[in-house]
A and B are shown apart, each in its own frame.
Chain A
Amino acid sequence: MDNLKSHPPAWSTKFLKWFCKDDYYEDIQGDLEEEFRILSGGSPSMRARSWYNWQIVRLFRPSMMKKPKTQDSIEKETTMFKSYLKIGFRNLLKYRSSTVINVIGLSTGLAAFVMIALFVIDEFSYDRNHEHAESIYRVTVKNYTSEGTLSRHWAFASAGHARRLKEDYSDVTHATRFFPWAFPDLQYKEQKFPAEPVIFADDDVFDIFSFKFIIGDPKTALNDLYSLILTEETAIKIFGNDWKDQDILGETITLSRSGQSASFKVTGVMEDMPDQQHFHFDYLAPIRFVEMIMGEQAANNVGGNYNWMTFVRMSPNTDIPKFTDQVNDEFWDKYIGTFRSGAEARDFYDFSFQPLLDIHLRSNLEGEYETNGSIQQVYIFSIVGILLLLVACVNYMNLATSHYSRRTKEVGVRKVVGAYKRSLVNQFLTESTLVAVISFPLAILFIYLGLPYINEFVDKNLVFNPIAQLDLLIGLIVLLIMVGFVAGLYPAFFLSKMNLVQALKGEQVINASKWNFRSWLVTFQYVVTIALIFSILVIEKQMKYIQNTNPGYQKEQILFLGLSRNINNLDVFKREMLNHPNVESAAYSSRIPTGRLADSAGSAFFKGDSLVPSNFRLPMVGADEDFLKVYEIPLIAGENFTREQDMDSDSVGYYIINRAAAEAFGFNDPNDIVGRRLSYGRYNGQTNQTGQTYRIGRILGVMENFHFESMHSQIVPMVLLKRDGFRNVISLKIRPSDIQSTLKHVEETWAQFDAENPVNYRFVDERFNDQYQQEQRLSTMIKVFTVIAIVIGCLGLIGMVGFVIETRIKEIGIRKVLGASTQNIWLLVSNRFLILIVIAFVISLPMTYWLMDGWLENFVYRTNISVMVIVAPVILAAVLTLLAISYQTFRASIVNPVECLKDE
């Protein structure tokens, strides 16, 4: 065959080889070469060559081409990934119980964490909606005693402070006061709204706070003396839902109080103030109106009458501490100088400028508009939340790693078949991330289910909106993947580098070293569990202590009603109230126990003939002759008030002091102070408006100490005044039987005297509990989340014990064959866990003790941390562990040893 001499063009053959699938190349090229030879007939032929080239060019089409390399490897990877997933799912199904523990633990932990995070984020977002929030400060005044100790710290300033600060200091660019004009009645056409919270403010208010107007212009809204700005909510209340369709600007609304009334014009409607603001107003009106009513002097007061919530906006970059020092150095000297007594005002007063953003979480002064949050509470929650998440993650890692060490044989076989180390690592990482990913939707479901309860509890409107809170969501997903990754990392690298022979023999290499990674994880879990149990025990004990400590007065079965302006004849009112068999006694007072001792005046005590001003604050409460009887406060010396006594009409002071006051005046035996002369406030020998001269009063009696204020504060000296002008509240001691009819009587009697205002009564013990509401809430919330953490921890523990027993099943079998009892086996398994508990105890207790001791410092009357409280968490942790161990050991020890020894 001489036609073998001619060869097809080499370069196009190469081209064919390059692009054509390897599988196809051989026979196609063979065919082409055969035909080329036939065509060329042995001699080099142009025609054959071009035919050959042309056919190859035409073969250059996708169906003939090789697949690109990368695509090939992606295909391989995805195939492997599919296989990992499949095996992962099979394993999850195989170890159903540990999967369920894992998924539930992780998702509950996550859900709880997110809910706490939402709460914390909400707490930190207060007052941030104002554009100038960073440079807004509240002007507060500190009041010192003559000895220089801080006596009171008001959230308020005096009426004249705002204007003077703004005029004198260029750093103060804007200043406004808020003044509630004692809730006037409001009338629009025929509709009446009693006691609406109208707040009067200075013109600067809209330069300081960014209230958004729906209609009206903030620049001119307060221009007119009789202008009134509504919020959307009140606009709906007054004008109905379609207020936007009515032209309400310029409508007339009448405000009236104590017989005076004035007509205001609506000049704007603001958006409702957001929940996350430390005050909420429904109406704003110009403060010039109040100044006009009160008169020039009251509106310019610079010392005392601390009723004016004052805010200033400072120019940015003001050095606040320096500014504060400067103001305190100059202001009091300039405007007050010395008091009549000769003391310098600057020694008694100090300004303190509180950043707006600190008010909600870090301020609890006298006269806060609303109950503020507490930074401590936020910190405690944050810690609990983080711990919870950590416990859930650790739990997950723990179970996951123990789960993998069951699979040494699988790893061995995979290696023999030729698995790369890399693919083993990938396999375990895929599997561990799988559970984390499954938990995620479940966690979101839990959040949606749990949030309404949390909201009800903390009285907020927290919303979980994954779209709006994308950063939170992404953070969670990243966290989950990381958790899965870390959980997978340990087994992945451990198992993949395992010696092949060991792996195939199924030796428990992972458990060879007793103190391994997992032991640390278990210890950590114990640390957290013990710390949390300890914390709730301390909180619980303190709450019990407070509720069971006798406050020194009777708080059960006492009803109290705040009086209204319409009730004029108080003697008759009281008589009518008593006109029911179930009303035992009734007393008027200016305040009632569980309230605050906010009113005080200067006092002086006569030693011999000389008047010595007292160097402590002596707050007062106006009370009538039945006050001590209703509240069952024992009189330890002297006499009670009589009905006829009245400081105003008699122009003489009638006083009953408490034991603390007697001691403060230097009398350890209360009997010795009775009958001595005391000067209090203006009842000090001066002439009153009607020209009468007050005579110096005497101390009529001494009563036992009692907790007028909450247990947070100490029992301080106090004085009761018998002055009829101080009758603001009536307290009714009622019999426990047939409360319904008693309440009906109270309501009917009220209606006889005041038809306009609804009766508003409460029980004293309710209000007593309100004082500790914040602690109650705190303890309940911590309890709930702690229980979740403990449950997660216990689930993990049960899983761990089960695993330990499973890996040692043969050992247990052999021991049993050799005669070990169930107890022996029980000890064998449990002693290791007990060691871990002891270590955890040593780590966690000092830390938690320090934290909780700090919390208890908030209370003046605090319980002590007893040995019981310290030991109980450890015992509890040990008992829980031993229960888990017992259950699993019991199962292991009743198995016939043959069962576990027979297969190798």
Chain B
Amino acid sequence: MKEYQLGEFEEIVLLTVAILYNEAYGVSIRQEIESRLKRKVSVSALQTALRRMEKKGYLESNFGESTAIRGGKRKRYFRVTKYGKKALEYSKDARMQLWEAIPNVAFDFDK
């Protein structure tokens, strides 16, 4: 558990980066999260999460092309690392394990 510490927001960001695959950079990640999950994400929250996960080794990044609309600044593309994938799998497994452990009657609210 300690090995793969992943906050809820971090998990969302990580998954989104994976969804976008080759197109994951600041703007696209934010828009993807906002459109899929209908929740507001500030640039600072996103950037903090990205950088933190990069430091932890879940993500890697490299500069991409620059465009005029960006004022000539280059994009930074993020990719999920193997270690990041493991972290995601771990977190998914943990949840599945918990789901499966729930007895059927627990959610049987009709009765």
Contact = CB atoms under 8 A, between A and B. Distances in A.
A29 B47 contact: no
Contact of B42 (A1, A24, A55, A63): A55
Give the interface centre of B63, B67, B73 by most chain A CB atoms within 10 Å.
B73
B43 A55 contact: yes
Contacts of B44: 55, 58-59, 61, 64
B51 A32 contact: no
Interface in B56-72: 63, 66-71
Given A24-B51, A27-B25, A63-B48, A33 B42 contact: no
B57 to A, nearest CB: 17
Contacts of A31: 25-27, 30, 43, 70, 75
A4 to B, nearest CB: 6
Contacts of A34: 27, 67, 69-70
Interface residues of A, number: 22
A3 B69 contact: yes
Given A28-B26, A58-B42, A33 B71 contact: yes
B25 A26 contact: no
B73 A29 contact: yes
B85 interface: no
A26 B73 contact: yes
B95 interface: no
A37 B68 CA distance: 11
A30 interface: yes
B63 A27 contact: yes
Nearest to A8: B71
A59 B74 contact: no
Nearest to A37: B69
A134 interface: no
B71 A27 contact: no
Contacts of A59: 43-44, 47
Interface in A781-806: none
Contacts of A3: 69
A251 interface: no
Contacts of B70: 30-31, 33-34
A35 interface: yes
> What secondary structure prevails in chain B residues at the interface with A?
helix
A27 B48 contact: no
Nearest to B26: A31
Nearest to B70: A30
A34 B51 CA distance: 20
> What secondary structure prevails in chain A residues at the interface with B?
helix
Given A58-B42, A63-B48, A63-B52, A29 B69 contact: no
B73 A30 contact: yes
A64 B52 CA distance: 10
A61 B52 CA distance: 13
Give the interface centre of A1, A3, A26, A27 by most chain B CB atoms within 10 Å.
A27
Given A27-B63, A55-B42, A58-B43, A64 B48 contact: yes
A35 B28 CA distance: 10
Give the interface centre of A4, A24, A31 by most chain B CB atoms within 10 Å.
A31
Contact of A1 (B25, B26, B45, B68): B68
B27 A35 contact: yes
B69 A4 contact: yes
B69 A64 contact: no
Given A4-B68, A33-B69, A34-B69, A24 B47 contact: yes
A41 to B, nearest CB: 12
Contacts of B74: 26-27, 30
A602 to B, nearest CB: 105
Interface in A14-57: 24, 26-35, 37-38, 55
Contacts of A33: 69-71, 73
A76 to B, nearest CB: 21
A28 B68 contact: no
Nearest to B29: A31
In this complex, the interface size class of chain B, counting residues with CB under 8 Å from chain A, is 20 to 34
B68 A27 contact: no
Contacts of B63: 26-27
A748 to B, nearest CB: 90
Interface string B6-37: 00000000000000000001110010000000
A27 B76 contact: yes
B36 to A, nearest CB: 17
Nearest to B55: A63
A188 to B, nearest CB: 78
B73 A61 contact: no
Given A1-B68, A55-B42, A55-B43, A30 B75 contact: yes
Interface in A60-114: 61, 63-64
Contacts of B68: 1, 4
Contact of B69 (A1, A58, A63): A1
B66 A30 contact: yes
A28 B66 contact: no
A4 B26 CA distance: 19
Nearest to A58: B44
A28 B27 contact: no
Nearest to A63: B48
Nearest to A57: B44
Given A34-B27, A58-B42, A63-B52, A28 B71 contact: no
Interface in B95-110: none
Contacts of B43: 28, 31-32, 35, 55, 58-59
A62 to B, nearest CB: 10
A29 B67 CA distance: 13
A59 B75 CA distance: 18
A64 B47 contact: yes
A26 B63 CA distance: 10
A296 B7 CA distance: 106
Contacts of B27: 31, 34-35, 38
Contacts of A4: 68-69
Nearest to B46: A31
A4 B25 CA distance: 20
A531 B70 CA distance: 84
A31 B76 CA distance: 9
A1 B70 CA distance: 12
Contacts of B71: 29-30, 33
B51 to A, nearest CB: 7
B47 A28 contact: yes
A11 to B, nearest CB: 15
Give the interface centre of A28, A30, A34, A55 by most chain B CB atoms within 10 Å.
A30
A29 B75 CA distance: 10
A216 B19 CA distance: 96
A19 to B, nearest CB: 12
Nearest to B66: A30
Contacts of B25: 27, 31
Contacts of A58: 42-45
Nearest to A30: B73
Nearest to A3: B69
A3 B69 CA distance: 8
A33 B73 CA distance: 9
Interface of B: 25-27, 30, 42-45, 47-48, 51-52, 63, 66-71, 73-76
29 contacts: A1-B68, A1-B69, A3-B69, A24-B51, A26-B63, A26-B74, A27-B25, A27-B63, A27-B75, A27-B76, A28-B47, A30-B66, A30-B74, A30-B75, A31-B25, A31-B30, A31-B43, A31-B75, A33-B71, A34-B27, A34-B69, A35-B30, A55-B42, A55-B43, A58-B44, A59-B43, A61-B44, A61-B48, A63-B52
Given A27-B25, A34-B69, A58-B42, 16 more contacts: A1-B68, A28-B47, A30-B26, A30-B66, A30-B70, A30-B71, A30-B73, A31-B25, A31-B75, A32-B43, A33-B71, A35-B30, A55-B42, A55-B44, A59-B44, A59-B47
